[in-house]
Amino acid sequence: MTDAITLERERGLLTLRLNRPDKKNALTRAMYSDMAQALKQADADPEINAVLITGSSECFTAGNDIADFLEQPPSNLDSPVFQFMLTLLECRKPVIAAVAGAAVGIGTTLLLHCDLVYVSRDARLRMPFVNLGLCPEFGSSLILPRLLGHAKAAELLLLGEGFSGEQAAQWGIATQALGSGEEALAKAREMALRFESLPPEAVRISKQLMKAQDREQLRKAIEEEGALFIQRLRSPEAIAALSGFINRT
């Protein structure tokens, strides 16, 4: 287990905290593996009622580690990043996110698979896949046009426009926007602990029903996007854009 992911257990709540502050919580292969493993264990543990994913009060995550993308790009759907995506997609227990500061790339798209999402009003969300020579991932090319309509989704996915926590809540990407990162985390924790007093089997079945219609289509979208994403990572467009970030002065 890398120390860039910390696990905290409070009664029936497992909190999975991204903890790599010097790199804005950018996600490495090891971090994806640890998150996938923690989610699987939580799903199988009858003592756990809910999982909370958070970063710090300054930053959720800057998305995938860009150096990792250049040095060890995922080569197939067994790679840690895709294993994490599929594990979150399949998680039967409620997953809650608390977001403050930057939530870039998968930092935004993973929220589309959480059940409750609390953000600070001034959180900065962005999916700059095209800007980096890449393409949408984690089902975002399917979910966002459905949620927002093609024209709004295109602004976010084709132009890579950023948006605030407040907008995320208005658009239904987040459950609620709060005044600060601390408030977002406190609210997320309060709501996550509520699952303790609810019948777990009823919660599990209800989540399953809410996700059932879309699950297979989403899995297919994640796989199709993933295959193209893997190709894009090796494209001259992406290599130039990713190297540009690493070599910026």
SS3 66: helix
Q: Is 175 in the site for ligand COA (CB under 6 A)?
A: no
Residues 6+ away with beta carbon under 8 Å from 54 = 15, 16, 17, 18, 60, 97, 98, 99, 185, 188
CB 108 within 8 A of CB 167: no
Letters for 7-46 (x = contact with ligand COA by CB under 6 A, - = none) are: ----------------xx-x--------------------
Specify whether the CB–CB gap between 17 and 1 falls below 8 A: no
Q: Which range touches ligand COA (CB under 6 A), out of 4-12, 60-68, 112-120, 145-153?
A: 60-68
Options 48, 86, 102, 125; binder of ligand COA; rule CB under 6 A: 102
Least distance (Å) between residue 220 CB and ligand COA: 22
Binding residues for ligand COA restricted to 115-154, rule: CB under 6 A? 128-129, 132
Nearest to 119 by CA among 50, 59, 49: 59
Q: In angstroms, what is the C-alpha Rg of the chain?
A: 17
Q: Is residue 80 part of the contact set for ligand COA (CB under 6 A)?
A: no
* 67 near ligand COA, judged by CB under 6 A: yes
β-bridge partners, 54: 17, 98
Q: Is 65 in the site for ligand COA (CB under 6 A)?
A: yes
Q: Are 108 and 147 in contact (CB under 8 A)?
A: no
Taking the complex as a whole, the smallest distance from the CB of residue 164 to ligand COA amounts, in Å, to 14
For residue 105, state whether it binds ligand COA (rule: CB under 6 A). Answer: yes
Q: Is 239 in the site for ligand COA (CB under 6 A)?
A: no
Amino acid identity at 193? L
Three-class SS of 218-237 = HHHHHHHHHHHHHHHHCCHH
Asked if 7 contacts 15 with a C-beta cutoff of 8 angstroms, the reply is yes
Does 226 engage in binding with ligand COA (CB under 6 A)? no
Q: Tell me how far apart the alpha carbons of residues 237 and 175 are, in angstroms, rounded to a whole number.
A: 36
Which of 62, 85, 117, 222: binder of ligand COA (CB under 6 A)? 62
Determine if 225 is a binding residue for ligand COA (CB under 6 A).
no
Q: Which stretch binds ligand COA (CB under 6 A): 10-18, 74-82, 102-110, 152-160?
A: 102-110
Least CB distance to ligand COA at residue 58 (A): 8
- List residues near ligand COA by CB under 6 A: 23-24, 26, 62-67, 102, 104-105, 128-129, 132, 245
